[in-house]
């Protein structure tokens, strides 16, 4: 299938901060590669500084004794061929620069982490651990990993944790986190800290089976979701809880993404009626700077272009086609919208419905 290739062509966009704002030339992101006829994608999708480095699908698998599991199937970019290759890894993350992926084998939790070369798809070396690992994430600079450890499969569904769903009793997840490693990728040194599942003020464990820790935006702290104004609770790399840093508080949402120049940040869905848009905010004032097409803003290709999910404009009625969406590239003024992928199935439970991993390249 033919890809859409766009170089650094120039288009004219009108700034959205005021009616009298001057026109300014806006360059399309360099090195854009789109495959609007592919879903899931078979070949590289990229724009500006960001690319789809991998994607996954997920299905529910029945297991013995009434148990089950969420089973993830990962497709990882081969940087030599520019194609996505289906893997047998249970979990993975791709480092910034897209040269290396950290991978976990089936049978989570496991006692080693593989480092895969994206140009060959082969494991270059293994990092062994004493505690079973169920999730991994690279730091923003790619020099460290946080590997979350568990006593049981974090994606497992267990009969003795059953609950009622749509009138049926189904197996449920079990919180089993034991702690985490902070790993120096170059040396393989892995420092473990115990951090069992967090409890609320009444002593109850909150959350499902997978409770992975992630990195703060600047890579100095770790975090997990929690019911705070920031939406996260933060830890030092030695496991000590600390207040949310000012930079995180100012962004107002745990999913907010800063523009490369740090001036703008993605906001919430702001659609009204037939309008399918999300807002972009000024970091300094918190006020709306722009409305751009899409239900979910995923990444900045550069300071003027965003990658988002947008539903099919012809089938976007709430309750009908809002989940039949595709990756798009949109300019900040919303005048230019370029499809990057084909449409995903509207059924959220469809096993072919894929979720992209977007990485800096």
Nearest Cα residue to 4 out of 29, 43, 36: 36
Report the C-alpha gap between 234 and 218 in whole angstroms. Answer: 12
Report the C-alpha gap between 347 and 342 in whole angstroms. Answer: 15
Report the C-alpha gap between 324 and 311 in whole angstroms. Answer: 5
Bridge partners (DSSP) of residue 330 are: 306, 337
Average pLDDT on 70-91 reads: 98
Q: How confident is the model at residue 25 (pLDDT cuts 50, 70, 90)?
A: low
**DSSP per position, 81-139:** TTEEEE---SEEEE-TTSSEEEEE-SSSSEEEEEEEETTTTEEEEEEEEEEEEEEEEE-
pLDDT for 6: 39
Annotated domain spans of the chain:
1-49+260-361, 54-255
Tokens of 238: 């030695």
Tell me the per-residue pLDDT of 38-64, one tens digit each, with 9 for 90 and over: 999 999 999 999 999 999 999 999 999
Q: Quote the percentage of the chain above a pLDDT of 90.
A: 73
Average pLDDT on 75-99 reads: 98
Asked if 325 and 344 touch (Cβ cutoff 8 Å), the reply is yes
pLDDT for 1: 42
Asked if 306 and 300 touch (Cβ cutoff 8 Å), the reply is yes
Average pLDDT on 57-73 reads: 95
Q: How confident is the model at residue 26 (pLDDT cuts 50, 70, 90)?
A: low
Longest dimension (CA), the chain: 68
pLDDT for 203: 66
């Amino acid at each position: 299938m033919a890809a859409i290739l766009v170089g650094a062509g120039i288009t004219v966009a009108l700034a959205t901060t005021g009616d009298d704002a001057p026109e300014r030339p806006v360059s399309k992101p360099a090195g854009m590669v789109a495959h609007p006829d592919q879903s899931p994608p078979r070949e590289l999708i990229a724009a500006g500084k960001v690319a789809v480095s991998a994607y996954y699908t997920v299905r529910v698998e029945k297991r013995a004794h009434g148990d089950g599991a969420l089973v993830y199937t990962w497709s990882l970019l081969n940087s030599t061929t520019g194609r996505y290759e289906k893997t047998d890894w249970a979990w993975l993350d791709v480092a910034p620069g897209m040269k290396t992926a950290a991978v976990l084998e089936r049978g989570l939790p496991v006692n080693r982490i593989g480092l895969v070369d994206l140009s060959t798809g082969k494991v270059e070396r293994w990092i062994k651990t004493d505690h079973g690992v169920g999730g991994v994430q690279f730091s923003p600079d790619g020099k460290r990993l946080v590997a979350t450890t568990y006593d049981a499969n974090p994606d497992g569904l267990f009969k003795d944790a059953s609950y009622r769903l749509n009138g049926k009793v189904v197996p449920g997840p079990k919180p089993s986190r034991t702690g985490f490693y902070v790993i120096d990728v170059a040396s393989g040194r892995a420092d473990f800290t115990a951090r069992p599942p967090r409890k609320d003020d009444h002593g109850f464990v909150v959350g499902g089976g997978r409770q992975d820790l992630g990195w703060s935006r600047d890579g100095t702290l770790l975090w997990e979701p929690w019911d705070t104004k920031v939406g996260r609770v933060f830890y030092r790399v030695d496991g000590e809880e600390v207040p949310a840093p000012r930079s995180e508080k100012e962004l107002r949402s745990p999913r907010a993404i800063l523009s490369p120049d740090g001036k703008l940040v993605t906001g919430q869905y702001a659609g009204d009626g037939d309008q399918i848009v999300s807002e972009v905010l000024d970091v300094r004032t918190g006020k709306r700077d722009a409305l751009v097409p899409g239900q979910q803003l995923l990444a900045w290709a550069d300071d003027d272009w965003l990658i988002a999910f947008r539903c099919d404009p012809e089938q976007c009625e709430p309750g009908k086609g809002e989940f039949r969406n595709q990756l798009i590239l949109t300019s900040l003024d919303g005048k230019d919208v370029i499809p990057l992928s084909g449409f995903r199935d509207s059924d959220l439970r469809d096993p072919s419905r894929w979720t992209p991993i977007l990485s800096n390249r």
